[in-house]
């Protein structure tokens, strides 16, 4: 069975500082990896995804993530955060060659950007 | 393109009742997935429908069911509601292949009293 662990439940960070959100996964088969963001009272929005190829993935709003197969990690980074980045962030995986869509999510990391 | 829409946005029910939630996917998308989000359990996959057939199912009791219509709109039903069913129910649509992005709706917040 696959599982996703987000190591930090909350991350306070000052505006314009960098932030890194950690995600580790466990799976016996190859996976696709995703990062979603959820703003208050809204659904989830895709930030970026890794399917194959370059291990450094760039997404929207200045976010990027690096896939590390040996460490089974997919950490999300942003070099300089804004107040508007205050939200909850979810890492998720799905199986390669799966019969259908099923995302397995981590527990989420709440990012609070302070002025 | 219009996004994923879910109705109603908020719902209050009492224990023992049943509820039906609706999801309209992005035009052209054939896959609709449902997720339950709670503070305690996080985001959990309920089921996925593709071309009117359930293609994938999570670990939820039979009280949770769904269906998909020929226009790809989907409904989920929860019978005999329990207090623990209080949650945000999110649906997501995609064209259908597993590597394609799933687009989420704003969710339906269900409160069971």
Residue B44: enclosing H or E segment and its boundaries?
Answer: strand B42-50
| Residue A52 burial class via C-beta count within 10 angstroms: exposed 0-12, middle 13-18, buried 19 and up | exposed
A29 vs B: CB within 8 A: no
Query: Which of B56, B90, B96 lies at the smallest CB-CB distance from A43?
Result: B90
Mean pLDDT of chain A: 93
Q: What is the mean pLDDT of residues A3-14?
A: 95
Residues of B with Cβ-Cβ distance to A108 under 8 angstroms? 42-43
What is the pLDDT confidence band of residue A13, given thresholds at 50, 70 and 90? very high
Residue A56 — pLDDT band, cuts 50, 70, 90? very high
Cβ <8 Å between A43 and B4? yes
Regions of chain B where pLDDT drops below 70: 1
Cα distance between residue A78 and residue A62, in whole Å: 6
Interchain pair B98, A51: CB under 8 A: no
Nearest residue on chain A to B31, judged by CA atoms?
A101
| Residues 6+ positions from A52 with CB-CB distance below 8 Å | none
Chain A residues within an 8 Å CB radius of B99: 32, 51
- Can you tell me the mean pLDDT for A44-59? 93
pLDDT in tens, B25-39: 999 999 999 999 999
Q: Average pLDDT, stretch A33-48?
A: 94
Average pLDDT over residues A82-96: 93
By mean pLDDT, which of A10-19, A89-98, B33-42, B82-91 is the weakest?
A89-98
Q: Is A83 exposed, middle or buried (0-12, 13-18, 19+ CB in 10 A)?
A: exposed
- pLDDT band of residue A99 (cuts 50, 70, 90) is low
Asked if residue A98 has pLDDT above 70, the reply is no
- Closest residue in A to B93 (Cα) is A101
């Amino acid at each position: 069975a696959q599982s996703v662990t987000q190591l930090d439940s909350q991350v306070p960070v000052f505006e314009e500082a960098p932030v890194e959100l950690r995600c580790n996964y466990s799976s016996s088969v190859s996976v696709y990896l995703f990062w979603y963001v959820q703003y208050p009272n809204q659904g989830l929005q895709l930030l970026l995804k890794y399917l194959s190829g370059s291990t450094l993935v760039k997404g929207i709003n200045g976010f990027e993530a690096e896939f590390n197969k040996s460490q089974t990690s997919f950490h999300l980074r942003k070099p300089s955060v804004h107040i508007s980045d205050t939200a909850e962030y979810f890492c998720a995986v799905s199986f390669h060659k799966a019969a259908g869509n099923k995302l397995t999510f981590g527990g989420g990391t709440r990012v609070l950007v302070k002025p | 393109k219009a996004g994923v829409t879910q109705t109603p946005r908020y719902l209050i029910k009492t224990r023992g009742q049943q509820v039906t939630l609706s999801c309209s996917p992005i035009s052209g998308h054939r896959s609709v997935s449902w997720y339950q989000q709670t503070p305690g359990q996080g985001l959990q996959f309920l089921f996925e429908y593709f071309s009117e057939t359930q293609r994938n199912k999570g670990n939820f009791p039979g009280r949770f069911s769904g269906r998909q219509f020929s226009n790809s709109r989907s409904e989920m039903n929860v019978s005999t509601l329990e207090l623990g069913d209080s949650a945000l129910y999110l649906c997501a649509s995609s064209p259908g292949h597993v590597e394609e992005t799933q687009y989420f709706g704003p969710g339906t917040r269900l409160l069971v009293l």
